Structure 1
Amino acid sequence: MQTLTTRARRAPLAMALFVALLAPGLAFAQTAKERELEARIAQLEAQVQALIGAQQQQQATLAQTQTTLDQVRVAQAAPADGKPKIQSSPILSAGNPDGRFSYGGFIKVDAMVTDTSDGEIADGSAGRLFYLPGAIPVGGVDESSADIDTHAQFSRFWFAADGEVQGHKTRAYLEFDLFGGGSSNLGNQASTNTHALTLRQAYVSWDKWLAGQTWSNFQDVAALPDAVDFVGPTEGTTFVRQAQLRYTSGPFSVALENPQTVVGSYRSTTRTTSDDGTLPDVSARYTNKGDWGHFSVAGLARQLQHETTTTDASGTGFGVSVSGKYNLSKTDDIRYMLTGGSGIGRYVGFALGADGTLDATGEDIDATGVLAGFVAWRHVFDPKLRGNLMVSRAQFDNDTDWTGFGVTRSAQSIHANLIYSPFPKLDVGAELIFGNRELESGADGDLRRLHTSVKYSF
């Protein structure tokens, strides 16, 4: 019994001793596995750290590249002269390296109903497309006529290339519209309405010099009214585009312009456009600008010349024009032009009157006096709606002993319009026009027109 008891007491001790003897082996085996696992974890951590480092380096490279690109874009958008560039290199392969190319224009659709008191304006006449006082029929007897005309011929586009070459600012400019008549036998309203391309302006300028075809230096384009019609108060407006050489310095400009003489035949309405002049028309202008608007005065001196196989007629012409725009408020302005002189008929109202008239022998030109002008009031009702009211008149001092009684003595018109812009660059307009032309004989004719248009600028 004592032996069993002793054995029972000795069993736990033996078990404890057995466990103690095995424990070092167990501990050694567990430590080896842990070390293997830790080694693998450390290897994975090293690989992850390598990947993170590579990613960070790649992100840093991308950030540096983006910064460089942003700097290039900023440099291109804001060059030293402060003018934004459209592209980093010229579109034209022959262009200057720092040139800036631009393009613009508008699409304009015109539709009008015209009623004249003394006969119909001839088909194909420019007077069917816009207000042309010289085309108003005069002298008909109870021949009132109404016509509807629609066209898109005054749609326009232009190209310009601006740059700086060896310190000289340069510009090349081309402008066209479709007011060139039918370009083929199919160019009529019965079929294709095809129209030819018309050159409006083509010039190059460098610093203060300009050479090429553009608006006459005698014309103040900035004073033209906001009209639905192509011109608006045509008879009171100086309106000429022609080749010239111009020099501008600050508010002053002087130009040598293309000489042409519009000559009326002796006691006849027949007129001839002569290019026999040997001296250019000389124009000079001064313009003063400010927040209030602008004021401009221009002078013109010219030679009148007409040659035939047997005669050589000549004369002189001169003129003065005062024009400008005065801002009455943020929503109202007044625009005006007053032109007077002798022998400058072709510069006023699309040659409404001749520059002069030949005498009976065809050896002398009697210059015709003219006084013409307009006043226009513009009011902005809100950002989308504006309106204009225009009054215009031209008066000619004809010597009826030379001209006869069939030439234009005067023309006048009143224009009122509303122009709605549902969104920027789109104008929908309607203009009422009342015009009158009177001859030296006292006969006259009236024009009444509703002119509508849709115009989108781009």
Structure 2
Amino acid sequence: MLAATCLTATPAAAQDAGIEERLDRLEALVASLLERMDAEQGRMDARQAETLAATEQALAETRALQERQVQLAAQIDEPKKQEDKGFRVGNTTIAYAGYVKLDAISQRTSGGQVGTGSIVRDFLIPGAIPVGGPASGWDSDFSARQSRLIFKTATDVGNGHELNSQIELDFMVTPGGDERVSNSYQPRLRQAFITYDNWLFGQTWSTFQNVGALPESLDFVGTTPGTVFERQPMIRYTRGGLMIAAEQAETTVTAPGGARVLAGDDTLPDFVLRYNLARDWGSFSAAGIVRNLRITDDDFGTGTDSALGYGVSLSGKVKLGDKDDLRFMGTVGDGLGRYIGLNIVNDAALDLDGDLDPIFTYSGFAAYRHVWSDKWRSTIAGSYFKADNPVLLTGGTVTDESWNVLANLIFSPVRPVDIGIEYMYAERSLENGLSGNLQKIQVSTKYSF
């Protein structure tokens, strides 16, 4: 029995040993599989890390490219602040603008012939309309002298300050031209000024004049009899809609007999206060001026005298619908002569005691602009001027009143080009009752750049 038991137990023990051996091999296999899986996971993590790094690098490069594009766009846009054109030199952006314009003008006058080469044949000067002579025929002239050049600069001076300048030239009312050979004309200075933040120093449009209210006309000014029109040196301060300026003074005097004298004895500037209001419906400006009119003994030999000049001008532009507008100006005052209508009358007259008597005037214009389509537009306008001359001092040959009307049609085949035709009628009356008129047909082509 013992032997049988031993024989029976031996196979069982061997069987258990075999199972344990297989379990060990299985465990080793599992461990090897796990090791290979861990290695593969490590390689996958490494590839993912490489992919992530490559993605981040690509994103960084994309962001850098976008930043360079933004910087480039800013460099391209910066000159656009200066009339969409310009280039940079150091911290200064230099830009240019202007236009080339050809005027073909045919006009006739009822009260006398306007001589060839006279500026009265280039644009309307109300105080120079001939009076009292025989009527002229239709006189025609071609000219490109209104063409204009504008140069601007903007300098980055840091600390949030703005430093700019502008110089503007054209060829109007200058000598040198002829209609025989060359038609050459000398350039003239229109504007030259510096601006630093809110301050302006230099020559530009008078603060008493609202350029934004001027109507669109082919004539150089258009509604000249009723328009404040003056460019001169000044110091101006602007804050929001408020403008305060001290501007060049110049007293124009009517001497006994009607002659114009420029005294040149002014000691105080002309002071101007103006407020501008801009709203969705349009814009409005109110301006006031105070002047010290002055002469001294060396002008007339009658001693030194001064007088107060003053005036108010209201002007603006009212939108009518999406594109049309109404523009207007009304001015009244004493001693404003040289500011109105290209100096139609003088600031003051000299009495027998050598004292200045300021001349009271009132004037104004209205203009309606209608846009027919994207390429066609028209303006109709009228203006009026009246002077209260002291006739006993000025005589009867000075201008009493002047007025004009105009209508035009302008075609723009492409955005920077205007081609237009305009008809104008203007009239001037003297204190002695004589009058004369001017009729003008003008065709113009202008390319703005």
Please classify the TM superposition score into its range, dividing by the shorter chain length. 0.7 to 0.9
Give, as a single letter, the amino acid of the residue that structure 2 aligns with 1:279: L
Question: 1:78 is paired with a residue of what secondary structure?
Answer: helix
In the other structure, the counterpart of 2:150 is: 158
Q: Distance in 1 between matches of 2:62 and 2:230?
A: 52
In the other structure, the counterpart of 1:432 is: 423
In the other structure, the counterpart of 2:321 is: 329
| TM-score, normalised with respect to structure 2 | 0.82
Question: 1:436 is paired with a residue of what secondary structure?
Answer: strand
Question: 1:382 is paired with a residue of what secondary structure?
Answer: coil
Are 1:78 and 2:67 matched, yes or no? no
Are 1:423 and 2:419 matched, yes or no? no
Are 1:170 and 2:163 matched, yes or no? yes
In the other structure, the counterpart of 2:312 is: 320
Q: CA deviation at 1:73?
A: 4.3
Question: 1:118 is paired with a residue of what secondary structure?
Answer: coil
Q: Distance in 1 between matches of 2:130 and 2:139?
A: 13
Selected match of 1:119 from 101, 112, 115: 112
In the other structure, the counterpart of 2:187 is: 197
On the 8 A contact 1:112/1:150 being kept in 2, the answer is: yes
Unpaired runs of at least 5, structure 1: 1-56
Are 1:349 and 2:333 matched, yes or no? no
In the other structure, the counterpart of 1:224 is: 214
Q: Distance in 2 between matches of 1:85 and 1:337?
A: 30
Q: Distance in 1 between matches of 2:145 and 2:279?
A: 36
On the 8 A contact 1:121/1:135 being kept in 2, the answer is: no
Say if 1:300 and 1:109 are closer, same or farther in 2 by CA, change over 3 A: same
Q: CA deviation at 1:145?
A: 3.3
Selected match of 1:131 from 114, 124, 144: 124
Q: Distance in 1 between matches of 2:61 and 2:142?
A: 56
In the other structure, the counterpart of 1:270 is: 259
Give, as a single letter, the amino acid of the residue that structure 1 aligns with 2:420: G
Q: CA deviation at 1:70?
A: 5.4
Q: CA deviation at 1:181?
A: 2.2
Selected match of 1:452 from 436, 443, 447: 443
On the 8 A contact 2:422/2:443 being kept in 1, the answer is: yes
Question: 1:71 is paired with a residue of what secondary structure?
Answer: helix
| TM-score, normalised with respect to structure 1 | 0.80
Higher mean C-alpha deviation, range 422-431 or range 270-279: 270-279
In the other structure, the counterpart of 2:288 is: 299
Map 1:244-283; keep pairs closer than 5 Å: 244-266=234-256, 268-283=257-272
Q: Distance in 1 between matches of 2:214 and 2:151?
A: 23
Say if 1:395 and 1:264 are closer, same or farther in 2 by CA, change over 3 A: same
In the other structure, the counterpart of 2:351 is: 359
In the other structure, the counterpart of 2:226 is: 236
Q: Distance in 1 between matches of 2:108 and 2:57?
A: 74
Q: Distance in 2 between matches of 1:120 and 1:63?
A: 79
Say if 1:302 and 1:150 are closer, same or farther in 2 by CA, change over 3 A: same
> Deviations along 1:275-294, whole A, 9 cap, x unmatched?
21000000010111012110
Q: Distance in 1 between matches of 2:58 and 2:167?
A: 44
Map 1:18-33; keep pairs closer than 5 Å: none
> Deviations along 1:254-304, whole A, 9 cap, x unmatched?
0000000111111x2310223210000000101110121101100000011
CA RMSD of aligned residues (A): 2.4
Say if 1:72 and 1:380 are closer, same or farther in 2 by CA, change over 3 A: same
Q: CA deviation at 1:328?
A: 1.1
Q: CA deviation at 1:149?
A: 1.3
Q: CA deviation at 1:314?
A: 2.0
In the other structure, the counterpart of 1:288 is: 277
Are 1:101 and 2:94 matched, yes or no? yes
Question: 2:127 is paired with a residue of what secondary structure?
Answer: helix
Q: Distance in 1 between matches of 2:263 and 2:72?
A: 51
Q: CA deviation at 1:423?
A: 0.8
Higher mean C-alpha deviation, range 114-123 or range 65-74: 65-74
Say if 1:65 and 1:238 are closer, same or farther in 2 by CA, change over 3 A: same
In the other structure, the counterpart of 2:16 is: none
Say if 1:412 and 1:281 are closer, same or farther in 2 by CA, change over 3 A: same
Give, as a single letter, the amino acid of the residue that structure 1 aligns with 2:376: L
Q: Distance in 1 between matches of 2:370 and 2:144?
A: 27
In the other structure, the counterpart of 2:388 is: 397
In the other structure, the counterpart of 2:17 is: none
Question: 1:226 is paired with a residue of what secondary structure?
Answer: coil
Q: Distance in 2 between matches of 1:85 and 1:63?
A: 33
Q: How many residue pairs align between the two structures?
A: 388
Give, as a single letter, the amino acid of the residue that structure 2 aligns with 1:301: V
On the 8 A contact 2:79/2:95 being kept in 1, the answer is: no
> Deviations along 1:315-369, whole A, 9 cap, x unmatched?
12000000000001113110000000010110000001110111124x2111001
Q: Distance in 2 between matches of 1:76 and 1:190?
A: 52
On the 8 A contact 1:178/1:195 being kept in 2, the answer is: yes
